[in-house]
Amino acid sequence: MMSVYHVSTRISSNVPASEILYDLCIYRMDSEKRKHSIVDVKQQALLTNYETQSHATENISEPISTIYIMEVMLYRKTMLKTLCVSPQPFTKMYTLEEFASGKAWSSIKRENPCYFQSTGMTKLESKGDNIAVINISRPERPFIAKDYPIGSSQDPFEKTLIEQQITRRFNQVDYPNQFNASLCGPAAFFYCLQKDRPDVYTQAAQELWRIGKTKIGQLEITPSDGCRHPTGHLYGDISGLDWMTLAGLRDSENKVLSFDNLDSPLAGITLWGTLTEWFEKAGYEKVFSNVGITQARIQGVNELNEYIQKGYKVVSLINDSLLKGSSSERTTYPTHWIVWDGPVTQATDRTVHLKLFSWGYMSDQIKPGNDIFFFIKRFFGGVVFKPLK
């Protein structure tokens, strides 16, 4: 059913609302990075309470849980001309429901589009010298590695480095890679998000770097202080981007211990209930599951093959000895999450193949020369979701 919604947001400012204008664009991107705008207005006047006007959307059919990106530019009206006061667009993401119900803003001012004018007077530091002192404050960067602080040549959270990593992910040059950290569950989640909604992946990463937290639909990622200030060697072992997103998500689930280094005591497989909850809170719809602690057998393979061939997301639990590069050989209990990119097939020589995502790569990673019985001994089913729109 097609519907029209009336959406709004707020800005934070100490300048009279009557002197401020705004551009507002609300859009989402699809998996091909095509932009779909539902509101796009220019130089509109604010209401007296610093709320934007209520703008009617296009006639749309998306559910109210759909995530949209809000982009805002601010302008200051003067007697002579109108000046743009936003050095770059402010972006934040909210669900359609949040936009339509007036909840697309934060009580914390720096999490909103902001324009503040200094009200203090500059004073001479001394009567004899013409020196003015202006103190400008800004919050500390949320993520700082204790062993590689700001200014270090190996700072994994340096601004330019993180921007480059985010750009590569947006363009799908590379994918989440947990390396030796026990973060395969978060890697599977963020890989699916990166493929389905590159705009949401990018926005989540930017918000984590800028304010130290993010919210994807109803999934709140709020890393602890320990996670935001990790110890030990990170540089070259895991990217700053993957630490913020993967470790940040895993740490947010823990109420007792902090995921604060690569050898964190939180090591262990992400349980399927937790992983499913991440997907569902972000807006994914679960349609099937045959995951469990015991092998899912050939029937389980056939069930998931049917879903992957229909275009669904298949996130599967395996023992990592199934994959190339694993030193494990005989262990047959669940240890690792992967994402399928096609069905399980058998070649004419009966060897099994599966193109899949794991450890930052999408390829056929099944150990060569093995048959379906080798596969099912290391296969524990999976969870199936509709792609995120």
Q: What is the pLDDT of residues 83-103, one digit of tens each?
A: 999 999 999 999 999 999 999
pLDDT for 367 beyond 90: yes
Q: Which residues pair with 23 in a beta bridge?
A: 73
Long-range contact set of residues 356-365: C-beta below 8 Å, sequence gap at least 24: 356/316, 357/175, 357/188, 357/191, 358/184, 358/323, 359/177, 359/178, 359/179, 359/184, 359/187, 359/325, 360/174, 360/175, 360/176, 360/177, 360/187, 361/175, 362/175, 365/323, 365/324, 365/325
Q: What is the mean pLDDT of residues 362-368?
A: 95
Q: Tell me, what DSSP letter sits at residue 108?
A: S
Nearest C-alpha neighbor of 23 from the set 88, 75, 100: 75
Q: What are phi and psi for residue 380, nearest 5 degrees? A: -120, 30
Task: Using the CB atoms, write b or e for 63-73: b if 16+ within 10 Å.
Answer: eebbbbbbbbb
For 197-243, the pLDDT digits (tens) are: 999 999 999 999 999 999 999 999 999 999 999 988 776 689 999 99
Q: Which CATH number fits domain 6-115: 2.60.40, 1.10.10, 3.40.50, 3.30.70?
A: 2.60.40
Does 304 or 295 have the greater pLDDT score?
304
pLDDT for 255 beyond 70: no
Question: Would you state the pLDDT for residue 121?
Answer: 60
Domain ranges within the chain, ordered by starting residue: 6-115, 159-270, 285-385
Q: What's the predicted TM-score (pTM) here?
A: 0.92
pLDDT band at residue 181 using 50, 70 and 90 as cut-offs: confident
pLDDT for 124 beyond 70: no
Q: What are phi and psi for residue 381, nearest 5 degrees? A: 80, -165
Length of the chain: 389
How is residue 339 written in tokens? 């994402």
- Beta-strand ranges (E) seen in the chain are 6-7, 12-13, 20-29, 35-45, 55-56, 67-77, 82-84, 90-95, 114-115, 214-216, 219-221, 286-289, 313-318, 336-340, 345-346, 352-353, 355-358, 361-364, 379-385
How is residue 343 written in tokens? 């069905």
Question: Would you state the pLDDT for residue 325?
Answer: 80
**Maximum average pLDDT range among 238-247, 261-270, 320-329:** 238-247
Question: Would you state the pLDDT for residue 329?
Answer: 73
